[in-house]
Chains A and B, each alone.
Chain A
Amino acid sequence: MTRAEPARPVKHSRALRRLGTTAAVIALLAVGATIVGTAPTDDEVIAPFENVGTIGETVEGRETRVLVTGIRTTTSLTASYAFTALDATTEGTWVIVDTVITPRVNSVGLSNSELRIGEYLFRATDIQPSPSLLLFPFGPDLPVTGSVIFEIPDFALESADARNATVVYQSRTVSTLDDVPTVRLDLTTAESFDTVELEAALVEDHG
Chain B
Amino acid sequence: MLWPLTVVAAATAVVAIVALIGGFNDVPVERLPLVEMGETHEGSEILTTVTSVYLTTVNPATGTPAEAGEQFLAVNATLENTSTRPNLWQRDTIRVVVDGAIEPEKQADSNVEVPGNRGISFLQAGLPTDLVYLWRIKTADATPGDDVIVGIFDRFRVTNDPVFDDTAYTSPTPVARIVTTIGAQP
* Nearest-CB residue, chain A, relative to B116: A90
Which residues of B lie under 8 Å from residue A57 when comparing CB positions? Answer: none
* Any B CB within 8 A of the CB of A91: yes
Interface size on B, residues (CB 8 A): 15
B residues near A (Cβ < 8 Å) are 62, 84-86, 113, 115-118, 121-122, 124-127
A residues near B (Cβ < 8 Å) are 86, 88-92, 119-123, 125-127, 151-153, 155-156
In the complex the two chains form, what is the Cα distance from A88 to B119 in whole Å?
Answer: 11
Which residues of A lie under 8 Å from residue B62 when comparing CB positions? Answer: 86
Which residues of A lie under 8 Å from residue B124 when comparing CB positions? Answer: 122-123, 125, 151-153
User: Does more than half of chain B's interface fall in helix, strand or loop, or is it mixed?
Assistant: loop
Which residues of A lie under 8 Å from residue B125 when comparing CB positions? Answer: 120-122, 153
In the complex the two chains form, what is the Cα distance from A152 to B1 in whole Å?
Answer: 83
Which residues of B lie under 8 Å from residue A88 when comparing CB positions? Answer: 116-118
In the complex the two chains form, what is the Cα distance from A125 to B85 in whole Å?
Answer: 14
The answer to whether A123 touches B126 (Cβ under 8 A) is: no
26 contacts between A and B (CB under 8 A): A86-B62, A88-B116, A88-B117, A89-B115, A89-B116, A90-B115, A90-B118, A91-B115, A91-B116, A120-B84, A120-B85, A120-B125, A120-B126, A121-B84, A121-B125, A122-B125, A123-B86, A123-B122, A123-B124, A125-B124, A126-B121, A127-B118, A151-B124, A152-B124, A153-B126, A155-B126
CB distance from A90 to the nearest CB of B (A): 4
**Known contacts A120-B125, A151-B124, then 9 further A-B pairs from the complex at CB < 8 Å, ordered by chain A residue:** A88-B118, A90-B113, A120-B85, A123-B86, A123-B124, A151-B127, A152-B124, A153-B125, A153-B127
In the complex the two chains form, what is the Cα distance from A156 to B85 in whole Å?
Answer: 13
CB distance from B126 to the nearest CB of A (A): 4
Which residues of B lie under 8 Å from residue A127 when comparing CB positions? Answer: 118
